[in-house]
Amino acid sequence: MREREDKSVLTEPRCPFCRELFERPHDVTTGLGFFQGGTCGCGAVYAYDPTGRNLGEAFVDALTYACNEDWSLAWGLVPDEDYSQSILNYNLRAHRVSPKKGMAGGLRMSYGKLIFIRLREGVAGREHSGAETALRDKDL
């Protein structure tokens, strides 16, 4: 039996940092391959985990991309001091988020996860982050 969704609990996809609408995740090419995700105008980077069970890989993808693939910089950052993160329940098909996973209107819903990473101002390499490079390239 196919799961049904109560779309009344789904909301517009907004960045957890600036509250602006963000685009549907797409293939983001990196030096090691690609991941599903994107960037927000505020500088946040997001990565999509369709199962919601592999957030570690999505986190690494987003953090290293935000650091312009500088692994040394990425692994040297301190959570909540050098960057902020947020995780959203996300329905790719509907391009909507849900406040929480579980039951809504008596129907079980399942979602993937989006992990958002935003480097804090003053973090070394911030001006050359993957997010800003992608935004700059997009404007060309």
Q: Answer yes or no: is 46 within a domain.
A: yes
| 130-139 and 55-66 helices, crossing angle to 10° | 70
Q: Answer yes or no: is 78 within a domain.
A: yes
Number of structural domains in the chain: 1
> 102 is in which domain, residue-wise?
7-139
For the stretch 81-110, pLDDT in tens is 999 999 999 999 999 998 765 544 444 556
What pLDDT does 129 receive? 46
Confidence band for 9, pLDDT divided at 50, 70 and 90? confident
Distance CA 40, CA 79 (A): 20
What pLDDT does 125 receive? 53
Confidence band for 127, pLDDT divided at 50, 70 and 90? very low
Q: Answer yes or no: is 66 within a domain.
A: yes
Strand ranges, E, within the chain: 26-30, 33-39, 45-49, 83-91, 96-98, 102-104, 107-109, 112-119
Q: Answer yes or no: is 2 within a domain.
A: no
pTM for this prediction: 0.78
Q: Answer yes or no: is 1 within a domain.
A: no
Q: Answer yes or no: is 114 within a domain.
A: yes
